[in-house]
C-alpha cells in the first residue's frame, strides 16, 4: 500500500512542477510580447505616433482584465 502512495505522491509532484513551469513560461511570454510591442511602436512611429501607440497598447491591455 505504501508503494502505491509513494508513486502517487511522486506523480503529483511532477504534475505540480509541470503546471508551475507552464504558468511561469506563459507570464514570461506575455511580458516579452509587451516589450516587443513597445519596441515596435518606438521604431515605427514618430513622437506623436509613439504616444498614440502607447495609449492604444495600454487601453487594450486594460480591456483584457
Select from 6, 1, 12, 61 the least CA-distant residue to 35: 61
Length of the chain: 65
pTM, two decimals, is 0.41
Confidence class of residue 17 from pLDDT cuts 50, 70 and 90?
Answer: confident
Sequence-ordered list of residues with C-beta below 8 angstroms from that of 43, at least 6 positions apart, any chain: none
Q: Residue 58 and residue 65: Cα distance in Å, rounded?
A: 11
Boundaries of every domain in the chain? 2-64
User: Residue 12: is its pLDDT beyond 80?
Assistant: yes
Q: Give residue-wise pLDDT tens across range 41-64.
A: 666 665 566 667 667 777 765 555
Please tell me the least confidently modeled range out of 12-16, 20-24, 53-57.
Answer: 53-57
Q: Residue 3 and residue 9: Cα distance in Å, rounded?
A: 10
Q: Give residue-wise pLDDT tens across range 26-43.
A: 777 777 777 777 777 666
Amino acid at each position: 500500500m505504501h508503494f502505491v502512495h509513494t508513486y502517487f505522491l511522486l506523480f503529483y509532484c511532477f504534475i505540480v512542477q509541470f503546471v508551475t513551469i507552464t504558468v511561469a513560461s506563459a507570464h514570461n511570454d506575455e511580458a516579452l510580447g509587451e516589450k516587443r510591442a513597445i519596441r515596435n511602436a518606438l521604431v515605427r512611429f514618430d513622437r506623436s505616433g509613439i504616444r498614440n501607440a502607447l495609449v492604444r497598447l495600454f487601453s487594450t491591455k486594460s480591456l483584457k482584465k
